[in-house]
Chains A and B, each alone.
Chain A
Amino acid sequence: MAMQASSIKKGETLIDTALTLNAMHPDLLVVRHPQSGAVDLLAQKVNCAVLNAGDGRHEHPTQALLDALTIRRAKGRLHRLNIAICGDIAHSRVARSNILLLGKMENRVRLVGPPTLVPAGFADFGVEVYDNMREGLQDVDVVMMLRLQRERMDGGFIPSEREYYHRYGLDADKLSHAKPDAIVMHPGPMNRGVEIDGDIADDINRSVIQEQVEMGVAVRMAAMDLLVRNHSGAQQDALAGSTAPGTLA
């Protein structure tokens, strides 16, 4: 259900929408919302499992999981890798979830982007910050590109798209600084010619972008299955409790 098609358009608050949906007794709600923390707020008000499908610029957990699966399949492991996350970090929920997950798995995570798109405090997350893309990509195993989120920009983070592409767009020359077997990732949708060169995106030897999409289906199926099963299990336990001997009238 899109927000435009929901009663939020008619002035209904997020919490009321949550309560309405909750009254339909769903097993699971999958929620994406343009504001950070909104999914957390909604989850407090419903009884079913809630899967965060992206809230503002906060988190996108299933994207991080599917990226992890893709990396593990390509690299054979998910630890002690050099991983560069490049581009519009500031507006990216994908970046935050990946920093948390990849950091937890003991990888060396680098953030590469213009300083206007890598905001204050990121250097404290146990990551290395680079504003020179060639230096940032030196000897990395994984190059993770992010979409330039032009719709979230309220003026002047970068001078122009062509300058951005020149300095931070992934092309063959910049990629040559990474390890020869480095893989290229992108959470999609891509702006070809803005953050990534079309030829790199389509290079079947380097790009795992299509595989990310494929893994996305598997990871999200697994996440939904797990949540629904856990939740209905809990409900059955509750049901069993209420029908325990002695409690029946």
Chain B
Amino acid sequence: MLLQNARLIDPEAGTETHGWVHLSDGVITAVGSTEEAPQGADKVVDCRGKCLAPGIVDIGVKVCEPGERHKESYASAGRAAAAGGVTTIVTRPDTDPVIDSPETLEFVARRAASDAAINVLHMAALTKGRQGREMAEIGFLLDAGAVAFSDCDAVVTNTKVLTRALTYARSLDALVMLHPQEPVLSAGAVATSGKFASLRGLPAVSSMAERMGLDRDIALVEMTGARVHFDQITTARALPALDRAKRNGLDVTAGVSLHHLTLNELDIADYRTFFKLKPPLRSEDDRQAVIAALRDGLIDIISSMHTPQDEESKRLPFEEAASGAVALETLLPAALRLVHSGDLSLPQLFRALSLNPARRLGLDSGRLAVGAPGDLVLFDPDVPFVLDRAKLLSKSKNTPFDGARMQGRVLSTLVGGTCIFGEL
């Protein structure tokens, strides 16, 4: 298949060029701009000057199988991801029961393979039951296909347990994802302390809790040599510590959720629970600092932190309501706000959405290069629309962007050279 007349977004080279991509057997076989496209492709698609980029690799997606399939199944998550230009999801183990044994991992892998058209990779819990007491069977889970290990937002408070888990993971070269947060200081908090939380009378935690969590985790990485990805760095205060750790040569990367890049605490307004996230939304100063860190490459990865919640768990007073938001479908349109505002270029955006997460996981994807899998997203970065949450393909509709004006839409998504969303 030949995709021609496209605006090629190449995060590896950092360029935007007009050109074509040739696919064969699900793999990119040639990419060009000024040179002549190869003749004799079985199918030629005119991209009409729209953007063609490597498909998004989203680390930290919650699919609610097993346990809460009414919130999100592999089938619905797969459709939502495809509609959002996400070609690979890496699922979280914070399900019920927790994915902490090769048996449960095998179950979800089977569900994913049969129900989702996108690539699905799985994380497993770092400790049994995400309880922070005993490490999970990291070796068996690796053999069963786990690509990373994480207790998600359940921070391992016992540093002895975490040290041993990191040391053990290191010996198997396993990637560990940690949630930097001082768990005791942040217990019970639903907002970031400051003027807004005080005025609304919400239990709040200082942004320093993230720095404290990060400082501890960095020290443990230094001690154990483990490969660690920090799921969400959302505050200005945490950035110098992250910078130091990277410059000291530790094998660490950092992510940030889409919502912390595009929203701040004031968006919570009158206790809107769809804006209740973990960690809580931050100040505008923090948001700006995190965007700058992303631009500079200090923060590597943007992820959706897709967390489906049903209506009942959100229709409660703010403190009682569940945390998290769905974001597979809004990931690209909302992230494009950063491009339209001039904060990021398109190649910079796709470096954080596709290239860096793929690299961190050791995948071939995330690139517009010969030999890379044909995981691509074709999108129009300019078309405006108003988001209607009822039209989301996710089973849960808990998006903070309901009614929001968006600019940019996915036209088609290809996985392994096959179009799974839109038309080609």
Chain A residues in contact with chain B, CB under 8 A? Answer: 13-15, 33, 35-38, 40-41, 55-59, 93, 96, 119-122, 124-125, 154
Contact = CB atoms under 8 A, between A and B. Distances in A.
Interface string B195-214: 11111111010100000000
B320 interface: yes
Contacts of B206: 120
B196 to A, nearest CB: 7
Interface stretch (B146-154, B218-226, B311-319): B311-319
Contacts of A58: 200-201
Given A120-B193, A125-B195, A41 B200 contact: no
B271 interface: yes
Q: Which of A13, A96, A121, A125 has the most CB of B within 10 A?
A: A121
Contact of B201 (A36, A41, A124): A36
A11 B200 CA distance: 26
B188 interface: yes
Nearest to B271: A37
Given A14-B316, A36-B271, A41-B271, A121 B201 contact: no
Contact of A40 (B194, B202, B271, B320): B271
Contact of A38 (B188, B196, B317): B317
B198 A154 contact: no
Interface in B223-269: none
Interface of B: 188, 193-202, 204, 206, 270-271, 312, 315-320
B237 to A, nearest CB: 13
Contacts, number: 69
Contacts of B204: 119-120
Given A120-B206, A121-B193, A35 B319 contact: yes
B201 A56 contact: yes
A14 B271 CA distance: 14
Contacts of B200: 36-37, 58
25 contacts: A35-B317, A36-B318, A36-B319, A37-B200, A37-B201, A37-B270, A37-B271, A37-B319, A38-B317, A40-B270, A40-B271, A41-B271, A55-B201, A58-B200, A59-B201, A119-B193, A119-B198, A119-B204, A120-B193, A120-B194, A120-B197, A120-B198, A121-B193, A122-B195, A122-B198
B364 to A, nearest CB: 47
B264 to A, nearest CB: 14
A50 to B, nearest CB: 14
